[in-house]
Amino acid sequence: MKRLIVSSALLAGAGLLSGACGSADTTAHDASSMSSVPAMPTGSQPPITSPAADHNDRDVWFAQMMIPHHRQAVEMAKLAEDRAASSQVKELAQKIRAAQDPEIQTMTGWLESWGAQAPGESAMPMDHDMPGMEMPGMMSGTDMKKLEGLSGTAFDRAFLKMMIEHHQGAITMAKEEQGAGVYEPATQMAASILSSQSAEIRTMTRLLQ
């Protein structure tokens, strides 16, 4: 009887031991399985959307191209002071200078605030010969020398024809800015250029007739 009790106790102990080992194995297996699951990266957050920029590449292009374009118009207008015969041509030239000189300063300020390069003091633009950087309506150096050599009614006619073409180029660039620019002061200036220079083209066309 004592042997049976001892044997039963031994068997029970062996069963408990077996169960304990099995539990330990299962726990180890579960831990191993969990370690194979990729962990979520710590500190991961949805990307933060930055506020929309107040200007874009088209705004920069508009300012960088329109500054030398305006400078050339101002140079042409200065020539009219002592070369033009018509008082109406002289008056128009003064009006062009009065409008475009301040706009040059304004656009230069935009570029500085954007950290973009402003054109130098030349009437020719930066990278003028690069594809995609052409400015419609710009006069060549030969054209400008020809205008400098004229006076009287010959100057008046050449000035009016050249300035009409020049204004048409500015209007083209203004329309491009209106269509693709996002900086409100620039698009407003473009609208002003479109309106004022279209009116001046009508005036110059009438004077030519």
Q: What is the pLDDT of residues 96-145, one digit of tens each?
A: 999 999 999 999 999 999 999 999 875 554 444 333 446 899 999 999 99
Question: Which pLDDT belongs to residue 121?
Answer: 72
Residue 161 in any domain: the answer is yes
Give me the CATH number covering residue 76.
1.20.1260.10
Question: Which pLDDT belongs to residue 128?
Answer: 41
Please say if the pLDDT value at position 18 is more than 70.
no
Residue 11 in any domain: the answer is no
Residue 156 in any domain: the answer is yes
Question: Which pLDDT belongs to residue 2?
Answer: 41
Please say if the pLDDT value at position 13 is more than 50.
no
pLDDT band at 186 (very low <50, low <70, confident <90, very high): very high
Whole-angstrom CA distances from 136 to 98, 144, 170 are 22, 16, 7
Grouping H, G, I as helix, E, B as strand and the rest as coil, residue 123 is coil
Please say if the pLDDT value at position 204 is more than 60.
yes
Residue 26 in any domain: the answer is no
What is the domain count for the chain?
Answer: 1
Question: Which pLDDT belongs to residue 34?
Answer: 38
Residue 22 in any domain: the answer is no
Question: In which domain, by residue range, is 166 found?
Answer: 57-208
44/2: higher pLDDT: 2
Residue 36 in any domain: the answer is no
Contact 94, 77 (CB under 8 A): yes
Report CA 188 to chain centroid distance, whole Å. 16
Please say if the pLDDT value at position 21 is more than 80.
no
Q: What is the pLDDT of residues 52-93, one digit of tens each?
A: 469 999 999 999 999 999 999 999 999 999 999 999 999 999
Contact 62, 118 (CB under 8 A): no
Q: What is the CA radius of gyration of the chain?
A: 39
Residue 17 in any domain: the answer is no
Residue 40 in any domain: the answer is no
- Kindly write down the DSSP assignment for every residue of 129-146, as one continuous string: TSTT---TTPPPHHHHHH
Phi, psi of 84 (to 5 degrees): -75, 145
The H helix count followed by the E strand count for the chain is 6, 0
Question: Which pLDDT belongs to residue 129?
Answer: 39
Within 8 A by CB and 6+ apart from 26, the residues are none
